[in-house]
């Protein structure tokens, strides 16, 4: 399955990288006017679904743009056709294709839930750099075929931490409040706009930790497996809570505990009122 995930992710990556027009148009929006979909998102997902269903017709598929299609095998493919669509729209180099196979996702007619599934194989492919991360449950994680060493368990004050922001004003306001409480306690913060690559960066040791509220299943299915198989803890807000839309945190074990305590104390689940527009 990891071979199929990699082949599909590479094919979709070539499509979106080579097929990107000079000028991209927004085709639709999702959660807000700033949460966009391009025609290439849809084309990439259609290619992924076709490749996966041709190879494994009994499996289910959950895609960001097309929703869920049921299967009978007990395996569901969770795909993100372009993770980092806003970067892609603006011509920035940070985006990826993410493909993961999960089990225990629930009944075929139900939307797969990250809190109940177990990812068993995954691939995150960066079409711009050509880097490709793969992982299998219990089989380790690799970058371009080389085993990952994993994140260092550094003190909180020396940690380089990745994070991300949502697309609604209320969510952004809450995340800004939490970030202002985190910044004084860590080395620095990075924001790439690509959750799958951030999780792979933790697995590669390029980030010491990553946290975010509001990730969708396709955002973290493959990247979380890469981080876990490289030695990171991937969890929700509480130590025994699985990563989900509610919260996701990834780091080496001791750092995950320290950063988790810090973030939990900042009440990241409390949403704010939408800030007033300038001049309103």
Environment class of residue 252 by beta-carbon count within 10 Å: exposed (0-12), middle (13-18) or buried (19+)?
A: buried
Measured distance CA(100)–CA(221) in Å, rounded: 6
Q: Closest by alpha carbon to 245, among 265, 223, 216?
A: 216
Question: What's phi and psi for 219, nearest 5 deg?
Answer: -70, -30
Return binding residues: 64, 80, 82-83, 219
Return binding residues for Mg(2+): 64, 80, 82-83, 219
Q: What distances in angstroms separate CA 271 from CA 166, 244, 246, one per listed residue?
A: 11, 17, 12
Measured distance CA(168)–CA(263) in Å, rounded: 20
Q: What is the number of alpha carbons within 13 Å of residue 5 lying toward its C-beta?
A: 33
């Amino acid at each position: 399955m990891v071979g199929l995930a990699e082949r599909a992710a590479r094919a979709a990556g070539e499509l979106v990288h080579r097929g990107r027009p000079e000028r991209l148009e927004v085709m639709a929006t999702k959660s807000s006017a700033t949460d966009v979909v391009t025609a290439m998102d849809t084309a990439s997902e259609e290619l992924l679904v076709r490749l996966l269903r041709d190879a494994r017709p009994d499996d289910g598929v959950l895609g960001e743009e097309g929703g869920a299609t049921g299967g009978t095998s007990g395996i569901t493919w969770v795909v993100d056709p372009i993770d980092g669509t806003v970067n892609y729209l603006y011509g920035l180099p940070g985006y990826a294709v993410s493909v993961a196979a999960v089990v225990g996702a629930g009944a075929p007619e139900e939307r797969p839930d990250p809190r109940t599934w177990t990812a068993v194989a995954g691939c995150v492919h960066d079409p711009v750099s050509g880097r490709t991360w793969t992982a299998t449950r219990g089989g380790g994680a690799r970058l371009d075929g080389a085993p990952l060493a994993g994140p260092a368990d550094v003190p909180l004050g020396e940690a380089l931490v990745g994070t991300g922001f949502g697309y609604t004003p209320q969510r952004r306001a809450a995340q800004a409040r939490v970030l202002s409480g985190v910044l004084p306690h860590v080395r620095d913060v990075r924001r790439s706009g690509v959750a799958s690559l951030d999780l792979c960066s933790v697995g590669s040791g390029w980030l010491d930790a990553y946290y975010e509220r509001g990730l969708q299943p396709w955002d973290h299915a493959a990247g979380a497996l890469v981080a876990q198989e490289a030695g990171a803890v991937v969890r929700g807000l509480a130590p025994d809570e699985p990563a989900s839309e509610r919260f996701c945190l990834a780091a080496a074990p001791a750092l995950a505990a320290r950063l988790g305590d810090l973030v939990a104390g900042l009440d990241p689940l409390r949403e704010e009122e939408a800030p007033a527009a300038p001049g309103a």
